[in-house]
Structure 1
Amino acid sequence: MSELAAAATATSPGPGPRAVTVVTDLAEITVPWMSGALGPAHSGPDLIGVSVVQIGQDSGHLGTSARVSLTYTAGRTPGPETVVVKMPAQSAESLETARRGRLYEREVRFFTDLAPHTEVRAPGCYGAGYDEEHGTFVLVLEDVEARTECDQLLGCPPERARQVVRELARLHASWWERPSLREHPWLTTFLDEARIRNMSRLLEQGWPLACARLGDRLSPQAVEIGELVLEHFDQVMRMLDEPAQTLLHGDTRLDNVMFDAGVARAPVVLLDWQNVSRGPAVAELGYFLAQNLTVQDFAEHLDALVGVYCDELAARGVVDVSPETLRGTLWQALPVTFTVAAAMFVMADLSRPRALELAAVMTERAVGAAQELGLVAALATLPTTPGDIG
């Protein structure tokens, strides 16, 4: 286990990730391929064996991940004992969704272009490859071990949520209104037409399925709220381009967060950067709080957590964001929250019990946050546009 993820900023092993030939099947992770991915500094001729085990099948990720155990010549261990390899999803629906959203390109480019310059704890990256023609990718990442795990199904304890919002503030402050962020056109924004179409499609398809599947677990207003979100989806996305822009992780939920991680016990490490984007901080903060706190904790601790976030921003030089203003605009994050929940009913394998329960709690929390933040009243103030979720 290296100390990469425990560093003050995201780092990679050496000058940057090595260029790696893209593989799309776990069987292609061989000794020669891994030796090339790690390079002479981390394997040399001493790597003699690999053992591949798939992981993360129930985490809701649009990809395939594996933990690879590495065996070296007796008496020599020049590289890591294990690494994590990420590659494309195997299902056609998930693969097409990832391609439409350019998710694989974005994650690769985060690690190659932005991670070394970003105040955030993320796994170190040994090797990266992206096949633009086929929209496929591969990443060889540090295997970060968490000493404390929080299950998204159970909800994030408020004390752990405070750690996450501080980490988000570090990330956001490091790119707050920096003009150079716009020099990376591969970073999607909330104005991206393809992104709006893709997310609208998932919401339109998935929300009725969620409401039908979950029935009495949801508020009687769930269908109506979903209809309003779809009706005003385009408008809210465009509103999110107006505030100060920064770098967003894009999918900060507990399945993508590790606590007390690495040998130096980093408080928080953020995984899975497929949704990295440019946008306002309110979109990320609202998404994390709505998707990861229980409905009760969201209501009880929301104001305090917004205050913690603003305090950390101020400590890092961003002093013009007040808790009151931020709290008043958090509802703008909820259409994305609804869409992510709805997408689970379109793309996830709901025959797996944990995947179904994850989809259920994500949907319940989206509706609960909408009621707590007055989403219906806020959307009612916006002009009407055509839309139908039925």
Structure 2
Amino acid sequence: MSAGVVTEAAALTPDWLSEALGGRVDDAVASAVGTGQIGTCFRLTLTGDGGVPASVLVKLPASDPASRDLLAGAYRGELVFYADIAPTVAVRVPACHYAAVTPDSGDFVLVLEDLAPMRQGDQVAGCTVEQAHDAVVNLAGLHGPRWCDPTLEDFDHLALTPADQIDLLAELAPSTTELFVDGLGDLLSAEDVATLRAVAEVVGPWSYARSERFALVHGDYRLDNLMFHPDGARGSVALDWQTLSLGLPARDLAYVVGTSLSPKVRRLHERGLVAAYHRALTSYGVGGHSLEQCWDDYRFAMVQGPLVATFGCAYGTRSPRGDRMFATMVARSCAAIRDLGTLALV
């Protein structure tokens, strides 16, 4: 029997949790996690019996009904990922204890493994080379097992080159870039502003290009969506699967490397990171994709950084930390675009 869908923290009662988790929950204490811009998230400390975990994370929809309806497709996509896609790939993700959605609405509930004491990455501070290495090897576990798998398009929300979405993105890119520049102008260099404007002009052809190589693409594979062991041990875990799509796999690779490391550190280590990712890909049986082709795709895909940052900032909820984060992501990825000659490849 399904426990059904609940959309508010007050409904996460011991009775509901007992049915959802298949054990006896005697008490549950909830504390909010995150800022609640896309949805709401709570950590529940549990007491009970029958294999009930000591704590879980529960994701619920946004409290605003209008936002909830607008994000319904993203919510459903994440539940499909955990239920149907995650078991077919090798990327490390939280275990899913329970998932339910109300059809044709933005109402859903997702009960996930609490990864504590792992710690969330910090997009502003960046990461170590060792953490970047761990993240790109884990990323290959998303891309490799279903590399160029045509059955991925059987999922309703996944399409390789959705023309309506790409054309709208290309149409909005120049004006969105100006919104971004106007909002964060004091945090941007003149050189980066010029690069952003050049990127906006190629979003259309860039989005359509290289579709002969495709896989599942996280779409926002960055430090704030990754969890790391505090002792430096390998085994990072990827979160937030609401932006999953099909596309050039190197978009995720370029995005995480380009936005996570300072330009100086990236220049020293990016060849090695791409090689580590490529070795991991081949371990999943990916063939006919040389290291040099992987490197060329990495250079080409660096547009992903400024594209996600400008749209995320321009149409998201502004905050001081968010402004610093987006400005840092843009500075790092625009430097990479110039260093790697990305725009000449489009």
TM-score normalized by structure 1? Answer: 0.79
Which of the residues 260, 263, 268 maps onto 1:300?
A: 268
- For 1:16-55, what aligned pairs fall within 5 Å after superposition? 19-39=2-22, 43=23, 46-55=24-33
Structure-2 residue corresponding to 1:108: 79
Moved more, 147-156 or 135-144: 147-156
Which of the residues 277, 284, 287 maps onto 1:309?
A: 277
- The question of whether the paired residues in 2 share the 8 Å contact of 1:148 and 1:258 is answered with yes
Partner AA of 1:81 in structure 2 = A
Task: Tell me: CA distance 1:86–1:318, structure 2 relative to 1, closer, same or farther (3 Å).
Answer: same
Which of the residues 48, 56, 64 maps onto 1:83?
A: 56
Cα deviations by residue, 1:329-376 (Å, 9 ceiling, x for unpaired): 32432333222211332344333x322221221222232222122233
- The question of whether the paired residues in 2 share the 8 Å contact of 1:62 and 1:89 is answered with yes
Structure-2 residue corresponding to 1:357: 324
> Alpha-carbon deviation of 1:66?
1.0
> Alpha-carbon deviation of 1:200?
4.5
- For 1:264-275, what aligned pairs fall within 5 Å after superposition? 267-275=235-243
Cα deviations by residue, 1:273-318 (Å, 9 ceiling, x for unpaired): 1122222221221111122222222222111111111122223322
Partner AA of 1:312 in structure 2 = A
Please list every run of at least 4 consecutive aligned residues from structure 1 whose deviation after the TM superposition is greater than 6 angstroms. none
Distance 1:115 1:211 in 2: 37
Structure-1 residue corresponding to 2:223: 254
Which of the residues 210, 235, 249 maps onto 2:205?
A: 235
Identity score, percent: 32
Structure-2 residue corresponding to 1:4: none
Distance 1:308 1:259 in 2: 18
Partner AA of 1:57 in structure 2 = T
| Count of residues in Structure 1 that have an aligned counterpart in Structure 2 | 345
Moved more, 216-225 or 198-207: 198-207
Structure-1 residue corresponding to 2:188: 218
- The question of whether the paired residues in 1 share the 8 Å contact of 2:69 and 2:105 is answered with no
User: For 1:304, what is the secondary structure of its paired residue?
Assistant: helix
Distance 1:261 1:122 in 2: 17
> Alpha-carbon deviation of 1:84?
0.6
Structure-1 residue corresponding to 2:309: 341
Distance 1:19 1:173 in 2: 33
Task: Tell me: CA distance 1:48–1:203, structure 2 relative to 1, closer, same or farther (3 Å).
Answer: farther
- The question of whether the paired residues in 1 share the 8 Å contact of 2:169 and 2:204 is answered with no
User: For 1:371, what is the secondary structure of its paired residue?
Assistant: helix
Cα deviations by residue, 1:154-208 (Å, 9 ceiling, x for unpaired): 112111111111111222211122343233232243x123532564477445422
Distance 1:216 1:47 in 2: 51
Distance 2:210 2:119 in 1: 34
Pairing 1:138–2:109 present: yes
Q: Which runs of 5+ in 1 are unaligned?
A: 1-17, 380-390
Which of the residues 146, 149, 154 maps onto 1:183?
A: 154
Cα deviations by residue, 1:17-54 (Å, 9 ceiling, x for unpaired): x8552333222222222222212xxx2xx312221111
> Alpha-carbon deviation of 1:70?
1.4
- For 1:188-207, what aligned pairs fall within 5 Å after superposition? 188-189=159-160, 191-196=161-166, 199-200=169-170, 203-207=173-177
TM-score normalized by structure 2? Answer: 0.88
